Amino acid sequence: MSDHVTKEHLEALREELRTRGSHLSPQEREHLEALLRGLEADAAADPGVAQALQHAAERFEVNHPSVAAALRNIGVSLANIGI
């Protein structure tokens, strides 16, 4: 992933996990960590990444709105660079 803004949004999500991760269930935390690993590996290689981000944002919206916002920011950044 080459876009600087996208990397900043990924780091914001990592920070959310560090600071608020204790409020996540083990399943929620694993889901986010798996999503991050996939994004860091190569988001452009996964055609379903935008949909995965949208679903994850919807899943976390009610109980973890800051995580949902970070996921949406990543999705917007990826869309802006054509992924």
Q: Could you tell me if 12 and 83 are in contact, meaning their C-beta atoms sit under 8 angstroms apart?
A: no
- Kindly report, residue by residue over 52-80, the tens digit of the pLDDT: 888 999 999 998 898 899 889 888 888 88
> Taking the model in full, what pTM does it have?
0.73
- Kindly report, residue by residue over 10-62, the tens digit of the pLDDT: 888 888 888 877 788 889 888 888 888 877 776 556 667 778 888 999 999 99
The neighbour count for residue 40, using CB atoms within 10 Å, is 12
The neighbour count for residue 48, using CB atoms within 10 Å, is 9
